[in-house]
């Protein structure tokens, strides 16, 4: 049912090796986002394991990696600070249920309304966000706990190791694709640092820097299997009122980011994922997080790009990443702790270079000014605020631009038919932005007794259009004249509550208009 592996052995090998690479890159991200949310590192690592495993099995996009993310982590801060981590688990559980309902009711199809300029801006903004996030690795706390940019030999060594990592990732595929270049880069750089005893920060240093001084000495990424537990919160209406707003935002942000990531991977791999199934997969994973002590999350675009670039295409890649991560937590935490941060930063810098749509610089002067503005706007909002907010803003602005442009497209050809009726042959939709232009087309005082509006090339799209027609009919009626609507589609007729009273309607082969289909959801 789930098609966990492809029968092609080379694909199985690529999935497994790319999964190992992703597992190594997941650790610092999960730990960092746990600190952002105000919970213990293990809560973030558990989330990375459970999100990665369950979405790979039940989700709608093979090759996509999910885990604890910054977008959802920032939403959790207030709830954890005021009510504690148990309320967070309850909110994540509820968010998962909301996501499952979104999949059941096939809401995933609405990701198709995201215009291409918004996607370009989203991708470019995402690349910038990933890049800026890596810059924090070039800082370290001083004796007073203030974060300072590293300097001197430490900076030179860090930059050198980052450059070496990027060089391996870039040039190795030109020599061989037998193993993922990212995995080789991490192993080689880690071997050099450990073998030469170079003084550079590693993963455990990063964890210790995030913890209070009295806890840092005993810090470790070693853990146990997550255990089942119902969130310890009162099962009351007051609890629901507390957690529901956070749960709703987590669910919405998680689905927006996951479905956009799905669309991006679809374009890269020239395949098609299933949006509604991904909603259900994300919901199952978040619900499980709530019961097993994880902070939840959604699709991780950076790690997904690492996986795709490393050759991971099947569900086995995500499953491998999750299981390897769990194996490291249970049995080999010491190995993960020794990985230099420079190697992981180099990997993410290569993701940035591969994610950014450099072609947007070339086309920015060739596309309409409105599209160019939307690309820049979405990129800026993504960097300044949040990916989900940026996409919503981009879709709204795109819709307003579309409405403004199409408001000018309503026009009519007029003629007198053989019955002496004046016919207005409309072209263009009647909706909120075009009703003013629509009304200006008619001259009730000068028209004959019978007037026909021909809708063969037009449609009524919203309530504003209905009101415009009703108002026009009233004007003709007040002058003792009759307004007829011809070739009005069945769906438009349903919008016109008073159509039977006002008009003689003659429907001839009128099409049905639909926004989107559920068949491919």
pLDDT tens-place string over residues 426-485: 998 888 888 888 888 999 999 999 999 998 888 888 878 888 888 888 888 889 888 888
Q: 71: closest CA among 382, 393, 395?
A: 382
Cα–Cα distance for residue pair 386/401, rounded to 1 Å: 22
- Greatest pairwise CA separation for the chain in angstroms: 97
- What integer best gives the mean pLDDT of the chain? 84
pLDDT band (50, 70, 90) for residue 404: confident
Q: What is the pLDDT of residues 252-298, one digit of tens each?
A: 889 988 998 898 898 888 888 899 999 999 999 999 999 999 999 99
Rg (CA), the chain: 29
pLDDT tens string 102-119: 999 998 877 777 788 888
Report the pLDDT value the prediction gives residue 5, as an integer from 0 to 100: 40
Helix (H, G, I), strand (E, B) or coil at 451: strand
**Separation of alpha carbons 227 and 222, rounded Å:** 15
- What confidence score (pLDDT) does residue 513 get? 41
- Measured distance CA(397)–CA(404) in Å, rounded: 10
For residue 515, what pLDDT is reported?
A: 40
Closest Cα partner for 375 from 354, 353, 397, 400?
Answer: 397
Angle at the Cα of 340 (from 142 to 139), degrees rounded to 5?
25
Report if pTM > 0.75: no
What burial class does residue 440 get, using C-beta atoms within 10 Å of its C-beta: 0-12 exposed, 13-18 middle, 19+ buried?
Answer: exposed
Determine the Cα angle at 254 with ends 75 and 343, to 5°: 85
> What are phi and psi for residue 451, nearest 5 degrees?
-125, 135
Write out pLDDT tens, residues 279-292: 999 999 999 999 99
Q: Say what the pLDDT of residue 222 is.
A: 83
**Beta carbons within 8 Å of 149's beta carbon, 6+ residues apart:** 138, 139, 155
């Amino acid at each position: 049912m789930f098609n966990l592996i492809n029968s092609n052995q080379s694909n199985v090998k690529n999935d497994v090796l790319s999964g190992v690479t992703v597992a190594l890159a997941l650790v610092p991200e999960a730990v960092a986002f746990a600190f952002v949310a105000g919970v213990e590192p293990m809560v973030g690592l558990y989330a990375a394991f459970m999100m990665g495993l369950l979405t790979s099995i039940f989700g709608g996009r093979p090759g996509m990696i999910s885990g604890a993310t910054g977008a959802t982590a920032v939403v959790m801060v207030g709830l954890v600070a005021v009510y504690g981590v148990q309320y967070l688990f309850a909110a994540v559980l509820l968010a998962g249920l909301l996501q499952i309902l979104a999949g059941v009711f096939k809401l995933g199809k609405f990701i198709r309304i995201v215009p291409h300029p918004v996607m370009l801006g989203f991708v470019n903004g995402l690349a910038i966000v990933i890049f800026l996030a890596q810059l924090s690795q070039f800082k370290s706390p001083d004796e007073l706990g203030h974060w300072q940019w590293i300097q001197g030999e430490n900076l030179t060594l860090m930059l050198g190791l980052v450059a070496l990592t990027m060089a391996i990732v870039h040039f190795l595929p030109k020599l061989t694709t037998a193993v993922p270049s990212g995995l080789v880069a991490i192993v080689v750089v880690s071997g050099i640092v450990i073998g030469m005893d170079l003084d550079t920060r590693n993963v455990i240093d990063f964890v210790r820097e995030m913890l209070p001084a009295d806890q840092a000495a005993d810090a470790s990424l070693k853990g146990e299997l997550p255990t089942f537990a119902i969130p310890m919160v009162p099962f009351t209406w007051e609890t629901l009122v507390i957690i529901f707003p956070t749960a709703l935002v987590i669910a919405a942000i998680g689905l927006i980011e996951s479905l956009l990531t799905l669309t991006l991977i679809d374009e890269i791999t020239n395949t098609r994922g299933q949006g509604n199934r991904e909603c259900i997969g994300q919901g199952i994973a978040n619900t499980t997080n709530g019961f097993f002590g994880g902070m939840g999350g959604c699709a991780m675009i950076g790690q997904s790009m690492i996986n795709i670039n490393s050759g991971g295409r099947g569900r086995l890649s995500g499953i491998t990443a999750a299981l390897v991560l769990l194996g490291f937590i249970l049995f080999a935490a010491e190995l993960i702790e020794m990985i230099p941060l420079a190697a992981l930063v180099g990997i993410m810098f290569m993701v940035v270079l591969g994610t950014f749509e450099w072609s947007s610089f070339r086309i920015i002067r060739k596309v309409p000014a409105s599209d160019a503005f939307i690309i820049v706007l979405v990129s800026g909002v993504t960097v300044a605020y949040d990916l989900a907010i940026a996409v919503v803003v981009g879709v709204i602005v795109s819709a307003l631009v579309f409405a403004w442009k199409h408001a000018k497209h309503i026009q009519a050809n007029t003629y007198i038919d053989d019955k002496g009726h004046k016919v207005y042959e409309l072209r263009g939709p009647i909706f909120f932005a075009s009703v003013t232009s629509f009304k200006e087309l008619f001259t009730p005082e000068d028209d004959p007794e019978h007037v026909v509006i021909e809708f063969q090339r037009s449609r009524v799209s919203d309530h504003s259009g209905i009101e415009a027609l009703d108002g026009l009919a009233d004007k003709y009626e007040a002058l003792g004249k009759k307004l007829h609507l011809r070739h009005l589609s069945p769906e438009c007729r349903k919008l016109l509550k008073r159509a039977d009273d006002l008009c003689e309607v003659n429907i001839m082969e009128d099409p049905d208009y639909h926004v989107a289909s559920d068949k491919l959801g």
